[in-house]
């Protein structure tokens, strides 16, 4: 049996070597990783309006994504009464942190895409899937009623099941053209198990991923509603 001193010494040496290796790797990759994450998020926002872009979002290079955002996307941050908050960019709003705050204290990111005279409003929503958080972006026309498109992502849904909200383009594609108001009443876009019945306001759920699909349904209903005060003000 080794002496206690040897065991303690070995542990300390091992800890120092491992800590140094990992922290230097972390610092070496930090900037690139931050940029990768930024591009990834912006790509997700753009895929909500993929019908309005001249090529699929996956064909844009990282640089294209950043410059398109720079040129054509206006960023606003709103408070819960629909007024703009100054001095912060929408891309800096951390939805995970916001969702932990009391509802009335939250900030809402809003991205406005200028497509040749037409304005498209992209709102962000966040909720819970089966295992972990899910989130998404919903693009609305300037009537604040018609959905242009949507994109979704998740922290840890099962590949092939819940993860289909992100991986299966057919799921997000269903949202184009749906309405979130029915006869003036807010209904959001329903995600329906077993298939949409009222196709103007509903989309099909995912078989084998009922909990995730219900999470998307709940997230959309609650998340888009937060923007209602702004819709009212913007319509004037």
Partner 1 sequence: MAEVKTAPAIQEKEPLFGKKEKKLITDPLTDNNPITIQVLGICSALAVTSLVLPSLVISVAVVFVCAFSSLFTSLLRTKIPKSIRMIVQLVIIATLVTIVEMVLKYFSYPVYRQLTIYIGLIITNCIVMGRLEAFAMANKPWRSFLDGIGNGLGYGFILVAIAIIRELFGKGSLFAGSIAEIKIIGASPDYLINTMADGSWFGWYSNNNLMVLPVAAMFIIGIFIWIQRSLNPDLVDIS
Which positions touch partner 1 (CB under 8 A)?
Answer: 1-2, 6-7, 10-11, 14-15, 17-18, 21-22, 25-26, 29, 32-33, 36-37, 39-40, 58, 131, 153, 155-156, 158-161, 163, 167, 207-208
d(CA 70, CA 199): 36
Which of 52, 233, 47, 227 shows the shortest CA–CA distance to 125? 227
Long-range pairs of 88-93 with CB within 8 A, sequence gap ≥ 24: 91/38, 91/41, 91/42, 93/124
d(CA 18, CA 12): 10
Give the shortest CB-116-to-partner 1 separation in angstroms: 29
d(CA 73, CA 112): 6
Give the shortest CB-229-to-partner 1 separation in angstroms: 33
Q: Which is nearer to partner 1, 10 or 186 (CB)?
A: 10
Q: Which is nearer to partner 1, 58 or 81 (CB)?
A: 58
Give the shortest CB-143-to-partner 1 separation in angstroms: 31
Give the shortest CB-124-to-partner 1 separation in angstroms: 17
Q: Which is nearer to partner 1, 208 or 232 (CB)?
A: 208
Q: Which is nearer to partner 1, 23 or 142 (CB)?
A: 23
d(CA 176, CA 203): 10
Q: Which is nearer to partner 1, 11 or 114 (CB)?
A: 11
Give the shortest CB-6-to-partner 1 separation in angstroms: 6
* CA-based max dimension of the chain: 80
């Amino acid at each position: 049996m080794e002496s206690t001193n040897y065991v303690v010494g070995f542990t300390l040496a091992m800890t120092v070597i491992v800590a140094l290796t990992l922290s230097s790797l972390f610092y070496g990759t930090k900037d690139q990783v931050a940029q990768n994450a930024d591009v990834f998020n912006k790509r997700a926002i753009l895929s909500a309006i993929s019908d309005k872009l001249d090529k699929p979002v996956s064909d844009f290079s990282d640089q294209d994504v950043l410059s398109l955002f720079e040129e054509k996307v206006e960023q606003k941050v709103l408070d819960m009464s629909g007024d703009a908050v100054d001095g912060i960019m929408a891309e800096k709003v951390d939805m995970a942190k916001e969702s932990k705050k009391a509802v009335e204290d939250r900030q809402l990111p809003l991205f406005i895409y200028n497509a040749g005279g037409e304005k498209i409003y992209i709102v962000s929503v966040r909720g819970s899937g089966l295992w972990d958080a899910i989130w998404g972006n919903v693009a609305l026309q300037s009537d604040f009623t018609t959905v242009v498109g949507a994109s979704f992502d998740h922290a840890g849904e099962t590949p092939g099941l819940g993860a289909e909200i992100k991986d299966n383009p057919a799921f997000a594609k269903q949202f184009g053209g749906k309405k979130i108001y029915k006869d003036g009443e807010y209904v959001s876009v329903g995600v329906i198990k077993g298939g949409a019945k009222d196709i103007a306001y509903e989309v099909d759920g995912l078989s084998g991923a009922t909990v995730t699909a219900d999470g998307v349904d709940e997230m959309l209903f609650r998340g888009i509603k937060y923007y209602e005060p702004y819709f009212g003000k913007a319509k004037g």
